[in-house]
């Protein structure tokens, strides 16, 4: 799975995913866009949805929650805990989609922000899942489209900040 | 790896471990022994070490930290975040040994408390690791001995509470 910019790898038989994307902005800016709620809503929001962030504790042993609502009042949320956050370097956090039929399908994400020449950043997201089934369900959920779309919006946000 | 009571499974090539253990006590009691600091220190402490629990938020999106110290002042800690805790049923949390040469080797644990006939409990702990190397390092660290020893102490604690 690859478009010109975002590379998503889900090797057969392994309950993990790697997503690699480069941004034309410094690690400071890319990290801030991931940890400041007022920036997050500008690129993680969904088409025709309002995004709210009722919890965002950007600290080690913190927590987060996002809610997306459409104009008919339908909403769905995501939540997790932040094991570690290190400015411009790394975020380690759990992730769960609250809209699944049963709870407990939690994954663990490692976001690594790597500085490249010319003030660019390579963001590598490594996600480990409870099972191969959970991993495959995520891949088949249309994650690829969502990730590419969000990162394209993040490009626009970052270009206005350079 | 198996003694008479604790079954630890680490299938080749998979970055996960399963630990299954039955206790002669109700799910309520086994869960409480995992979530009440004054009980935890009675069975998770190490030989010749003092165990302290500076953080233990037994709630969804909470955090925890354990420190073990010997009489010479040497100490080592473990910490993590609690994604979900459901009384007598389930705990989902991250885990990190703070004494490793580098940070970031975080795993995700799913503890499942299952009631059995005659007020017994089967505890299944499913741990997923960032990599096969992390999983193997944990297995080779002497985890098996530590788990068996702690669970035997937990047996004693629970037998005093029935």
Continuous segment of H or E residues that includes residue B73: none
Question: Are the C-beta atoms of A40 and A67 separated by less than 8 Å?
Answer: no
Instruction: Count other C-beta atoms under 10 Å from residue B22's C-beta.
Output: 18
Chain B CB contacts of A61 under 8 Å are 55, 63, 65, 79-81
Chain A CB contacts of B130 under 8 Å are 108, 110, 126, 128
pLDDT band at B161 (very low <50, low <70, confident <90, very high): low
- CA gap B62, B55 in Å, rounded: 9
* β pairing state of B90-97 and B107-116: antiparallel
Pick the CATH number of A6-159 from 3.40.50.510, 3.40.630.30, 3.30.530.20, 3.40.50.2300: 3.30.530.20
In this complex, is the C-beta atom of B95 within 8 Å of any C-beta atom belonging to chain A? no
In this complex, is the C-beta atom of B83 within 8 Å of any C-beta atom belonging to chain A? yes
**Nearest C-alpha in B relative to A16:** B130
For the segment A3-56, what is each residue's pLDDT rounded down to a tens digit? 579 999 999 989 999 999 999 999 999 999 999 999 999 999 888 899 999 999
Question: Are the C-beta atoms of A44 and A51 separated by less than 8 Å?
Answer: yes
How much is the ipTM here? 0.91
- CA gap A85, A57 in Å, rounded: 10
Where are chain B's structural domains?
Answer: 6-159
pTM over 0.80: yes
């Amino acid at each position: 799975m690859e478009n010109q910019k975002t590379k998503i790898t889900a090797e057969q038989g392994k309950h993990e995913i790697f997503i690699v994307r480069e941004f034309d902005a410094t690690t400071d800016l890319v990290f801030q866009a991931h940890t400041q709620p007022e920036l997050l809503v500008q690129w993680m929001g969904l088409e025709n949805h309002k995004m709210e962030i009722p919890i965002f504790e950007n600290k080690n042993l913190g927590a987060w929650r996002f809610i997306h609502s459409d104009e008919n009042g339908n909403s769905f949320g995501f939540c997790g805990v932040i094991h570690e956050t290190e400015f411009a370097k790394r975020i380690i956090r759990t992730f769960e989609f609250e809209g699944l039929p049963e709870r407990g399908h939690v994954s663990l994400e490692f976001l690594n922000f790597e500085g490249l020449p010319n003030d660019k950043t390579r963001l590598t997201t490594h996600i480990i899942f409870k099972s191969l089934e959970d991993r495959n369900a995520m891949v088949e959920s249309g994650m690829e489209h969502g990730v590419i779309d969000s990162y394209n919006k993040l490009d626009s946000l970052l270009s206005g900040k350079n």
